Chains A and B, each alone.
Chain A
Amino acid sequence: MTDSPRAESHYVLEGRYDALRSTELDRRLQELYDRGAKTIVLDLGQVTYISSSSLRVLLMAHRRAVGVGGRVVLANTPERILRLFRMAGFDRVFDLHSS
């Protein structure tokens, strides 16, 4: 996991993001915004699973980012996770990059 206190922050997600870990994800993203991040690049390359709870957290992060003139970039997104994003219509909003 890496991040830095600047306008663009990078954050690497690893493993399984179910409802339990969505709270942790929300807290980490909020910390990045509190430290001045506008654009957050999330590296999803090591994510094995993501539930609707964590997708909602990403959506809230996107709304916060847009509110301060930034954005959320989802990088290295595994194909099966990408499919979920497309299914939910997230591909029309997020800057999505596959792995």
Chain B
Amino acid sequence: MERSQVGAMEPFELCVSSDLTQLARISEFVAQSARQAGVSEAGVFEIQMATDEACTNSIEHAYSGHTGEVRVCCWVEEGDFVVRVTDFGRRFDPNQVPLPDTSAPLESRDIGGLGLFFMRELTDHVEFSSDAVQGNRVILRKHLPLGR
């Protein structure tokens, strides 16, 4: 049984300004796209959250107060629901962000890195890339249920 039919859903794209007020709109856009692709309700919440964290990084760190554009594109590919977040702000290197030690006592823990942690924990695959032409890209993948 195929996990998905490639091309069963045309890509959807949303372009918004780099403003935190846009996060709710992005979240709703991703939820609608994910439901159309057949992602489970629990999965919809997870991909919404991972996308929200990626977009927050773009707005707060890549653009860091400057005006820019955040693009969110969703599609289905090889059994996965895929979300790509693109910005054209300052280059973001995820390797420079230490992952939080979730086993360490919270009282003493560095509270950074939680956004990246959730992006990795709540999706099946995360990929980062950055170049001058295509900008900073985060690709988030969520496996679709069998039979989709």
Contacts and interface: CB of A to CB of B under 8 A. Distances in A.
Interface stretch (B16-24, B65-73, B74-82, B130-138): B16-24
Is chain B's interface secondary structure helix, strand, loop, or mixed overall?
helix
Interface in A33-68: 49, 51-53, 55-56, 59-60, 62-63, 66
Contacts of B24: 16, 18, 20
Contact of A52 (B45, B53, B102, B106): B53
Contact of A88 (B23, B42, B100, B107): B100
Interface string B106-130: 1101010011011001000000000
B48 interface: yes
B56 A89 contact: no
A51 B111 contact: no
Contacts of A51: 49, 52-53, 56, 115
Interface in B11-32: 20-21, 23-24, 27
Is chain A's interface secondary structure helix, strand, loop, or mixed overall?
helix
B70 to A, nearest CB: 13
Q: How large is the interface on A (under 10, 10 to 19, 20 to 34, 35 or more residues)?
A: 20 to 34
A89 B108 CA distance: 13
B106 A87 contact: no
Interface of B: 20-21, 23-24, 27, 42, 45, 48-49, 52-53, 56, 59-60, 100, 102-107, 109, 111, 114-115, 117-118, 121
Given A18-B23, A49-B48, A51-B115, 16 more contacts: A16-B27, A18-B20, A18-B52, A18-B56, A19-B23, A19-B52, A20-B21, A20-B24, A51-B53, A52-B117, A56-B114, A59-B111, A80-B45, A84-B49, A87-B118, A88-B117
